[in-house]
Amino acid sequence: MSERNTLTFISWNVNGIRAVEKKEALKWIDEENVDFLGLQEIKAEADQIPETIFEREYKFQSINSSSNKGQSGVALYTDIKGEASCCSHVDILDEGRINEYHFGDIAYFNVYFPNGQRDDERLEYKMAFYDRFLEHINTLRDEGKSIIVCGDVNTAHKEFDLARPKANEKTSGFLPMEREWLDKLLSNGYIDTFRHVKGDETDRYSWWSYRAGARGKNVGWRIDYFFVSDDLKERIVDADILDHIMGSDHCPVKLVLKV
């Protein structure tokens, strides 16, 4: 799968790939040995993605754009040969939320999970999406696949995963039902790789509001994750939040696995 003995995965909600390109905010990828790059919220069709986002050319690309033009969308880049699959029964509104890519015995997912803050109907859709997605990856596990999931989950799990938990107890993204789904995900045999590596390390966030200088004050939320099925536990080398990378209201997150 790779000439090296590890695989490096990067996940980043870029909040508009064309806007990021104008800032040249993906150029750092050219200097990194990234085997899988998963981008969320690209807000573009495949033919609208600038060829200049980075200099290196990945052999395989999978772009899933939303039927609502200019919204959502995900993009996956890799040099590792595999097969792009489709789970439209999860993303039933065709919002361009999932890349599914199978290589070897691994099913890898790059996902932009729904945001539930708009209204109760949208929150209900978010929770149903969560459940459909968990059922799908569990089915693949039953078929013998190992699972890697990255992306913007749009929920902070524990109180130390956001700067102001008390102020957000009734805000979608930190509601009990959303946090309970993350409990359910872990209880189904998936590992939050950042917590596995970093323990209870605090003040580490992946998203900051554009308002009130939140990023400068580090008033953020950890809502971007890498999860792996527990059969990959011994292969976890590193997991981190790349909070020095600018260009979006999110920063990238990283996972390194042994081959």
Q: Is 155 exposed, middle or buried (0-12, 13-18, 19+ CB in 10 A)?
A: buried
Q: Give dist(CA 136, CA 171) in Å, integer.
A: 27
Proportion of the chain in helix, strand, coil states, percent, rounded to 5: 30, 30, 45
Count CB-CB contacts under 10 A for residue 205. 23
b/e map of 103-130 (b: 16 or more CB within 10 Å)?
beebbbbbbbbbbbeeeeeebebbbebb
SS3 of 196, please? helix
Active site residue 243: no
* Marked catalytic residue, from 91, 152, 192, 224: 152
Count the residues in the chain. 259
Q: Give dist(CA 251, CA 207) in Å, integer.
A: 7
CB 246 within 8 A of CB 25: yes
Residues with catalytic function: 152
